[in-house]
Amino acid sequence: MEPREIRERGEELWERLESCDICPNECRVNRLKGEVGRCGVDAGLIVSSFHLHFGEEPPISGFSGSGTIFFSGCPSKCVYCQNYSISWLKEGYEVSIPELARMMLLLEERGAHNINLVTPTHYLPHILLALAQAREKGLKIPLVYNTFGYEKVEIIKKLEGVVDIYMPDMRYASDEAGKRYSGVKEYAKRNREAVYEMWRQTGPWREEAGIGKKGVLVRLLILPQGISGTEDTLEFIKDKLKGKVYVSLMSQYHPVFRARNFPELSRPITREEYERARKKFQELGLYGYVQPFIGRWI
């Protein structure tokens, strides 16, 4: 997409900050006048850090790293958030849109395979305006949209032709779990609708020399006690997405932040819980990466 059109879409979304409805929370606060909603930020742009990241999935980090930009604030409020200092406490520093564009260009200069936007939803207007500037100055590497997956289809449609790789979580298979553990309404419904739209836009997962170029990479964090509904989500991926996405099955859950206040979340997953999800992944013939079992509860 041409920078001009990217800029126009950014300007259109910027106007919506006056009564913000960028995410499904639809807080309707005027961020342009300093009001904040669920994400905790106004119209300022707060970045926690940016660097080459080697800890993402193999087709994202590759051999030279993913050009990752971590944004502060978050539309959801996960009680077990591993990055709560960034998402809840909004640690970081305010930058301008030209500075964000420069970050993208610096990451490309350092050899990044892609620009990886972490928790980008509430900053979409800023990101599109910065991306337009970066593309005008020669940015060529793919754009990765790394999201918790609580998105509006209407907004995701604005990203068609802009985002190369969508990297959504599919955290819960039930709306009830989304409300209890992440404080959001209709998570499963909104998430599945959005992921389907992401898949419609990008088509089947594509790699070149092991590096992701286009498509959807779905992250499934296995939670204790079946809270995540991982097997149900795997069935959705096979049935509705035709299995043509990259699936990252993650075993790394660890009870941090406020998780200890929820007995069902107060431990890592068991080997049995891990194996159940892994076997379903294999039975369905899905493609992707299965993180080794790293829990201490056997």
- Cβ neighbours for 175, distance < 8 A, ≥ 6 positions apart: 185, 186, 187, 188, 189
Amino acid symbol at 107: L
Encode the chain (298 residues) as per-residue pLDDT tens digits.
Answer: 999 999 999 999 999 999 999 999 999 999 999 999 999 999 999 999 999 999 999 999 999 999 999 999 999 999 999 999 999 989 999 999 999 999 999 999 999 999 999 999 999 999 999 999 999 999 999 999 999 999 999 999 999 999 999 999 999 999 999 999 999 999 999 999 999 999 999 999 999 999 999 999 999 999 999 999 999 999 999 999 999 999 999 999 999 999 999 999 999 999 999 999 999 999 999 999 999 997 654 3
Residue spans of the domains in the chain: they are 3-290
Contact 132, 100 (CB under 8 A): no
Both tokens assigned to 90: 């909004």
Listed in order, strand segments (DSSP E) in 73-192 are 93-95, 115-118, 143-147, 165-168
**Residues 49, 47: Cα–Cα separation, whole Å:** 6
CA distance 16 to 155: 11
* DSSP-derived pairing of the beta strands 45-53 and 66-71: antiparallel
Pairing of the two strands 206-208 and 287-290? unpaired
**What is the C-alpha to C-alpha distance for residues 135 and 141, in angstroms, rounded to an integer?**
10
User: Domain 3-290 is in which class?
Assistant: alpha beta
Token representation of residue 293: 């079992």
Q: What is the DSSP letter of 160?
A: T
Query: Which two three-digit tokens encode residue 99?
Result: 């500075």
Distance CA 23, CA 86 (A): 19
